[in-house]
Amino acid sequence: MEQGENNSRCWSPDGTYLLYQHRALTFTRNVYSETVAFGPREVHRIDASTMQSTSLAANVQFDYHLECNWRGDWVGVRQMPFSPQTCPVWGICGAACLYGREEGCPEGNRLALNMRTGALRSWGDAALPPLPPTPTPWPTPAPTPIPWPNLRAPVYTDPAGRYGLYVGLEGRSLWCMQPGQPPVEWVEGGEVFFYVP
């Protein structure tokens, strides 16, 4: 009887796909015992809008282990050689590297898997998109008149003059203010604010 084992789930950064590890389990029963044969780990994808499942990385020679670290549409995976393993259902399984984390298991190849196409590349491949830039704090503006008694000078003003962003006097809140309107609190109890244009 064939069943499956699913684990190590992670969402794509845009929330459109759920990726997970899958492997087939084949149970064999005879008069005296029951065993389970472990198939190679594959990486599958579920489309969040249609709930359709697709196999992205599957090869009878390899186990694929999700690392769930992202670079754009690419997710890190570890590709390890697969060797078939059979264990008793009730008892101790002496098979090494069943989960890829046991001591003495090979590190495997670190690859990047495209969540949309299933393409595999070396993680260090130059064709991967660069990591997103680290945001830098917006420079402190020169003092200007305070438009509201509980706000500091603006940290950002829209060039068209449609709104301004202000930090509260306590230094932990962020407020948006539009001409002729009372300020609206956007963030309460913040520590550090970054402006990314």
| Statement: residue 141 has pLDDT above 60 | no
Higher local confidence (pLDDT), 106 or 122: 122
pLDDT above 80 (res 130): no
> pLDDT for 147-165, tens place per residue?
556 677 777 788 888 888 8
pLDDT score recorded for residue 4: 79
Domain residue ranges of the chain, discontinuous segments joined by +: 2-122, 133-197
With vertex at residue 7, the alpha carbon angle to CA 14 and CA 104, rounded to the nearest 5 degrees, is 115
Interval 78-103 mean pLDDT: 75
Alpha helix positions (H), the chain: none
Which residues 6+ apart lie within 8 Å of 134 measured at CB? none
Please determine, for residue 2, whether its predicted confidence score (pLDDT) is greater than 70: no
Q: Which two tokens stand for residue 101?
A: 């984390």
Handedness of CA 54, 77, 135, 165 (dihedral sign): positive
Q: What is the pLDDT of residues 28-75, one digit of tens each?
A: 888 888 888 888 999 999 988 888 989 999 999 998 989 888 888 889
Cβ contacts of 9 within 8 Å, gap of 6 or more: 18, 19, 20
| Angstrom distance (rounded) from CA 76 to CA 61 | 19
Give the other-Cβ count within 10 Å of 191's Cβ. Answer: 7
19, 9 Cβ separation under 8 angstroms: yes
Expressed in angstroms, the distance from the first to the final Cα of the chain is 56
Which pLDDT score, from 0 to 100, does residue 98 have?
63
Per-residue model confidence (pLDDT) at position 19:
92
Tokens of 135: 């945001």
Mean pLDDT score of the chain: 78
Question: Any idea which residue has 């990486």 for tokens?
Answer: 43
**What is the per-residue pLDDT for 186?**
79
**Confidence bin at 143 (pLDDT 50/70/90):** very low
Consecutive H or E run containing 182: none
